Structure 1
Amino acid sequence: MSTLPPGGSVCLVCNGPGELSTWVRPLAEALHEAMPLRPRAEQASLALDLVLVPCPNATGREHHVASDMGLFRRVTPARVFWRLLCRPGRWGPWPRHGVVVFLGGDQFWTVLLSARLGYRHLTYAEWIARWPRWNDRIAAMSSQAQQRLPPRWRNRCTVVGDLMADLPASARRSQPLPEGEWVALLPGSKRAKLRVGVPFLMETADRLAARRPGCRFLLPLAPTVAVEDLLEQAGPSNPIARAYGTGPLQPDGAMPWCLLLRTAAGTTVHVIRSHPAHASLSQCALALTTVGANTAELGALGVPMLVLVPTQHLEVMQAWDGWLGLIARLPLLRRLLGVALTAWRMRHRGLLAWPNISAGRMVVPERVGAITPEQIAAEADDWLSAPARLQGMRDDLRSLRGQPGAVAALRQMVLELLPPAAAGP
């Protein structure tokens, strides 16, 4: 390998837990494999950094999760982003040369950051690149995203594919689950979703277990969620839990690969704390999930799903994007405006699950409204009793996934933007 320059940084930019696990981690691992980078290579001249940017849907724990990955020399929390722009030196030295890579959030933040640091700028555009004039390169998920660019900027764009297509499908063979019919429960990662999702899905599990005694339940924790959060949201401190019949969750021991929780009705839920849980999720026959990045993960893994949005608790479902979502969180307006905003979004919602958005049609069922655990348990039972239908959904999801290789292609674009000596021979 050729001599490295005096110093440099590859700075990844992200906003939330879904992007951290599905976009940031795979690219960071690939970059470490391609060349020596701090912190894994202590003597390397190049460093891998992460900057988290403001996002109304973030949990506030993202910087802890990212730090625990052991992939980054420095993780800058979202709460100091504006101070970072004003005085970058307060958060340590920044080398003269570097690349800023957008991997989630508002694309304008990376425009500002790359300009402030004097670094080159690469955007991964899932649907559209909003600031092509200030992008040195654009990595598009699809040709449709490329065609949305004004013609004068298309020569900066390369179609790399869907980063989610590189999720480890082979992990199923290396980490098999115990025998049984497994159903995944994904209540979300944000507090507003957990308040509804945990009690709703626990009662659904109870009712599905009564219909199918051999059914087993898997709950992979999002990286920003702790077991204590599940216990809290299923307990008396969550007023919404009183509307459901599951009762408090109780710890019920552990297995080498999971913790066990038990509902008041006696249903066992296997909780996986290690992340990502792709190996286990890929073996589930069906998933019951909220909306969000988890629907993209499930789709990439080819796991059939029912996407659930119970609207009978609108006053706590304020996890929306943009300035209206911020207003809905103001103390004096939270309840009134939050209810009005969410009700409006539900009426004008379009498609919610990422596989459906990607396909432009209903690939996986979306159940939105005053749905009940009994209704969802009955529908899940119908799907599980029809293996051919499940396989059809699985095949549709795999057809949307695309070919693997997007992570390697994006890594190559990062290397091309580095000074020649930094990218190796």
Structure 2
Amino acid sequence: MAALRRKLGDVAFSGIGGEHMTGEGLQSLFPMRELTLMGFAEVVPHLPRLMRRLRETAAKIRALRPDLVVTIDSPGFNARLLDRLRGSGIATAHYGAPAVWAWRPGRLRHWVGRVDRLLAILPFEPAIFRAAGIDCHYVGHPVLERRTAGPLSNPFRQRFRIPPQAPLIGLLPGSRRSELRHLLPVLKEVADRLHRAEPGAHFVMPTLPGLIAELSAAVASWPQPPLLVGVEQDRSDAYGACDIALAASGTVTLELAAAGTPMIIIYRSGRITAALIRRMALVQFAGLPNLLLSRPLVPELLQEACEPDGLVNQALSLLRDPQARAAQKAGFQEIMAQLAIEGSPSDRAATLLAELLARPAA
């Protein structure tokens, strides 16, 4: 949004967004968290509300007649929204290509003719969508927008009075309620056991500002409650200050890779969701670092394997093995070289969106 303003001047925004977008002047039609659902069992109970929000959003767009509609992630919701905008004459773009390469490849055909331009955040995605006739461009991953200070120049430990030599372990259970419900009990036990094995260890849990109160209540009874940080700069500095991290599979694993922080990728979901993932998954790995390198650089402990015994053993092994940490860091440099672009992702995306705006109306 800021890059579009720099490029186009006076731009008005309306839609659905979170804290950063509202900070740029967006008035969100409804809370963004209503769309951050994951897993069959979590989505189904909310379908009536989601369908109502879909109708409301489509009606609002048709009433406003904007010059451009940009949908972001949430492919299930947004593919249906774009379908309802067909024939409206409104230019459309989608940011964050759906992961048809990972599961449910049949979804690809649903995007043909639905969107004027697709902005991908992984370098291998444009070839997949262009082969289907979709105008798709790699704009760079958002982690390239915000680079993290390394441990030597990082002020995080001093800011929060963490001794320089104390092991600092990041706990990142995700932000969706289903992720927190499944992962927080496991991390509670893991943190307690790790502290017994490494009495000087400190724990930090970077999270979103809107989750601080909820997580504060959740970790208050932990034997070793982690430091919670929600300010964006504190979160970014925490990634780089940690010696190791246990992180839910998702974008945060690339943020840790960009910071050069060795990690273990974790994930748990409900039984139904886990069974569906196993049946439909097309990829060997769950974590983005491993997917991008096509090799198991980072340990993945998923579903039934995501339990305290295995996590504690893996964490202690990584924490105490400099060579294992160095191997991960070398792999992270390969990943960042793959993702690299000229300029910033926001400027590249803004340029491609401005091109759409300059096209004659259909």
Distance 1:302 1:81, change over 3 A: farther
Q: What's 2:91 paired with?
A: 120
Q: Does structure 1 retain, via aligned residues, the 8 Å contact 2:265–2:300?
A: yes
Q: Which position in structure 1 is the counterpart of 2:232?
A: 275
Partner of 2:16: helix, strand, or coil? strand
Residues 318, 324 of structure 2: 8 Å contact kept: yes
In 2, distance between residues paired with 1:49 and 1:301? 33
Corresponding residue SS for 1:288: strand
Task: Give the AA of the match of 1:190.
Answer: R
Classify the secondary structure of the residue corresponding to 2:291.
helix
Q: Which residue of 1 aligns with 2:274?
A: 342
Q: Determine whether 1:29 maps to 2:25.
A: no
Question: Cα deviations across residues 343-392 of structure 1 (Å, max 9, x unaligned)?
Answer: 45357754221222333332211113255424322321111111221121
What is the match of residue 385 of structure 1? 320
Distance 1:171 1:392 in 2: 17
CA distance 1:218–1:229, shift in 2 (3 Å): closer
Q: How does 1:290-301 map to 2 (within 5 A)?
A: 290-301=248-259
- The verdict on how the C-alpha distance between 1:299 and 1:141 changes in structure 2, with shifts beyond 3 A counting, is same
Output the CA distance in 2 between the equivalents of 1:174 and 1:271: 18
Alpha-carbon distance in 2 for matches of 1:142, 1:191: 26
Q: Is the 8 A contact 1:168 1:279 kept in 2?
A: no
Identify the residue that residue 157 of structure 1 maps to in structure 2.
Answer: 136
- Of stretches 344-353 and 274-283 in structure 1, the one that deviates more from structure 2 is 344-353
User: Aligned in 2, Cα 1:203/1:279: closer, same or farther, shift over 3 Å?
Assistant: same
Report how far residue 410 of structure 1 moved: 1.0
Map of 2:193 onto structure 1: 207
* 1:354 partnered with 2:354: no
Go from structure 1 to structure 2 and tell me whether the alpha carbon gap of 1:407 and 1:225 turns closer, same or farther (over 3 Å shift): same
C-alpha distance in structure 1 between counterparts of 2:276 and 2:129, whole Å: 30
With over 3 angstroms needed to count, the CA separation of the structure-2 counterparts of 1:110 and 1:291, relative to structure 1, is same
Q: Which residue of 1 aligns with 2:42?
A: none
RMSD in angstroms over aligned alpha carbons? 3.2
Q: Deviations over 1:9-30 (max 9, x none)?
A: xxxxxxxxxxxxxxxxxxx333
Letter of the structure 2 residue corresponding to residue 345 of structure 1: I
Structure 2 unmatched ranges of 5 or more = 36-49, 101-107, 159-163
Distance 1:81 1:196 in 2: 28
CA contact (8 A) 1:85 1:116 kept: no
Of 202-211 and 340-349, more deviation after overlay is shown by: 340-349
Task: Report if the CA contact (8 A) 1:188-1:222 is conserved.
Answer: no
So what's the TM-score if we normalise by structure 1? Answer: 0.64
- The answer on whether the counterparts of 2:148 and 2:239 sit within 8 Å (CA) in structure 1 is no
Post-superposition offset of 1:289: 1.9
More helix, by proportion: 2
> By how many angstroms is 1:278 displaced?
1.6
CA, structure 1 residues 225+375, in 2 after alignment: closer, same or farther (shift >3 Å)?
A: same
Deviations along 1:325-355, one digit per CA (max 9) or x if unpaired, are xxxxxxxxxxxxxx35534535775422122
Equivalent in 309, 314, 331 of residue 267 of structure 2 = 309
Long gaps (5+) in structure 1: 1-27, 37-43, 53-62, 235-248, 251-262, 311-316, 319-338, 421-425
Native 8 Å contact 2:169 2:204 kept in 1: yes
CA distance in 1, matches of 2:84, 2:143: 26
Give, in whole Å, the separation in 1 of the partners of 2:212 and 2:273.
Answer: 29
| Structure 1 SS opposite 2:119 | strand
Alpha-carbon separation, structure 2, partners of 1:35 and 1:174: 36
* Structure 1 contact 185–288 (Cα < 8 Å) conserved: yes
Judged with a 3 Å threshold, the aligned counterparts in structure 2 of structure 1 residues 403 and 85 are, in CA distance, closer, same or farther, namely same
Query: Are 1:183 and 2:163 an aligned pair?
Result: no
**Change in 2 beyond 3 A, CA 1:50/1:113:** farther
Moved over 6 A (4+): none
State the partner residue of 2:308. Answer: 373
Letter in 1 for 2:355: E
| Paired AA for residue 181 in structure 1 | P
Task: Summarize the alignment of residues 69-84 of structure 1 with structure 2, pairs less than 5 Å apart.
Answer: 69-77=22-30, 79=50, 80-84=53-57
1:408–1:175 distance in 2 versus 1, CA, 3 Å? farther
Q: Which has the larger radius of gyration?
A: 1
User: Residue 102 of structure 1 aligns with which residue?
Assistant: 71
1:215 Cα offset (Å): 1.8
- The answer as to whether partners of 1:97 and 1:118 remain within 8 angstroms in 2 is no
SS at match of 1:351: coil
TM-aligned CA distance change 1:230 to 1:199, over 3 Å: farther
**Residue 271 of structure 1, CA deviation:** 0.7
Name the structure 2 match of 1:48: 13
State the alpha-carbon separation in 2 of the partners of residues 152 and 340 from structure 1: 31
CA contact 1:295–1:354 (8 Å) conserved in 2: yes
CA contact (8 A) 1:187 1:289 kept: yes
Q: Given that residues 281 and 303 in structure 1 are in contact (C-alpha distance below 8 angstroms), is that contact kept between their aligned partners in structure 2?
A: yes
Q: Percent identity?
A: 21
Cα pair distance change 1:111/1:204, threshold 3 Å = same
**Residues 115 and 66 of structure 1: CA distance in aligned 2, closer, same or farther (over 3 Å):** farther
